[in-house]
Amino acid sequence: MTKPLVSVVIPAYNHERFIGAGIDSVLNQSMDDLELIIVDDGSTDNTAEVIKAYNDPRISYTWQENQDAYNTINRGMGMARGQYISILNSDDVYTTDRFEKCLQHIEQTGAEVAFSDVIPVDDEGNELTEPGFGWNLWHQKNRDYYFQHDDVYIGFLNGNYMVTTSNLFMTHEAVQKTGQFTSLRYLHDYDYIFRLMLACPGKVSYLHDQQLLYYRIHGGNTLSEAAITGREQDLEVIEKYMLASLPEECRERARTGSNRLRQLEREIIEVKAELAQLKQINPSSLGRRAIAKACRMLGKH
């Protein structure tokens, strides 16, 4: 078989409600030289039925026991035959001209990886355009930091303005140089973009003035342990790739300073909590006990 220009990998999991729109957004691209590889990660709803209802020779479907998103993506990328590889989460949607615009940009600039700005949408597909909406504030803050420094790597150290795995459009060579996604449940996309930047220096490009992806923000999200785990992974990713960008001889100094800053932040939180507790218990003893606490924190006797 002739190799397609673009291979699209959809890791699908329990998105019967959304995956049809995602598939349509791939099949209806303004360029049709593509293959669509769907790996179903053990869905228990009607996701498989939705996929199998399509009759298009460009689609291949594989089912597997649940193995999490990063393993599912890795399996799909291993099956890809195209010159370019794109990923689409099963609840997101491409604009119809996404591939055309990304290919044009790569051909004009020599980039090996391209990602664009995104359009946030809700469960019903309504665009979330309110500037004061929390997610928009977060994303605009990250974009502003990128524009301030005009440096892709520095921008990512500040925050993930790529937003999602669905925003990756890569040459096959870039994927080969970078390797597989790592086993980070919440931040495998964030880790991967740093590795792409290190594997393809100067070849990762942000189409900041084009919104070529509808990114699904689901309603009803609640605070959970995932919020802690995600931030813990975020801390690890930032420190790892901050150090990776430095000369080897500078890394131990930066690592030591980074660890000390984290320790000081923890101590500040502890002292503030102690002071607040003392004010409630016995205001008259605040000064003496606070000094004793501070001395203990500083290792003095």
- The answer to whether 217 touches 167, Cβ cutoff 8 Å, is no
Give the integer Cα–Cα distance in Å for 71 and 94: 22
Residues 6+ apart with CB under 8 A from 132: none
C-alpha span between 126 and 23 (Å, rounded): 18
- DSSP state at residue 58: T
User: Which DSSP symbol is given to 43?
Assistant: -
Q: Pinpoint the alpha helices (H) of the chain.
A: 19-27, 47-52, 69-79, 98-109, 134-149, 152-158, 172-178, 188-199, 225-244, 248-281, 286-298
pLDDT of residue 301: 47
For residue 276, the model assigns a pLDDT of 85
Which residues of the chain are modeled with pLDDT < 70? 1, 220-225, 282-301
What is the reported pLDDT for 231?
87
Helix, strand, coil share (%) of the chain residues, nearest 5: 50, 15, 30
CA distance 168 to 85: 8
Query: Was domain 6-223 assigned CATH 3.90.550.10?
Result: yes
pLDDT tens, residue by residue, 177-218: 999 999 998 899 999 999 999 999 999 999 999 999 999 998
What is the domain partition of the chain in residue ranges? Answer: 6-223, 259-298
